Structure 1
Amino acid sequence: MKLVMVLMLAALPLYCYAGSGCAYLEDVINETIDSSVSVEQYKNSLEEYIPDDATSKAQVIYNSPWCALF
């Protein structure tokens, strides 16, 4: 059992180093985490993935008074 645990701990850094395998997803995650990226920059970088106006206004809906109660 100890051997299995040692092998798992040895493989963990390799697994974490590999990343998600998708460069686009990694970029989105990095921009989401980065506090220096403004909301407009963030939305512009995701422009090709936002299909309609309702999706682009999701942040407005989230911060609305109707959601404040929850």
Structure 2
Amino acid sequence: MFDVDGEELACRIAEAAIGIKRPSGMTARQALDDMRRATTSAGQPDMVPGFERAAQVAAEYIAQCAEKGRQPS
């Protein structure tokens, strides 16, 4: 079995969803925190919890597939 870094997965989902890459050398946690600050300071809803939930669901699916011995579709 393998471990999935939830923060890294959430960050990659966020990057794919909004089309912006984090700066080189920035950790996933730093990028998510920056995203949270930027959106809330601009009066926008905090999107980070949604990306974190999406990452949790994706990791659960990948783990289920791994347990069944198949690749995710």
TM normalised by structure 2 equals 0.35
Structure exhibiting the larger radius of gyration computed from Cα positions: 1
Q: Which is richer in helix?
A: 1
TM normalised by structure 1 equals 0.36
Q: Name which structure has the greater RCO, CA cutoff 8 Å, separation 6+.
A: 2
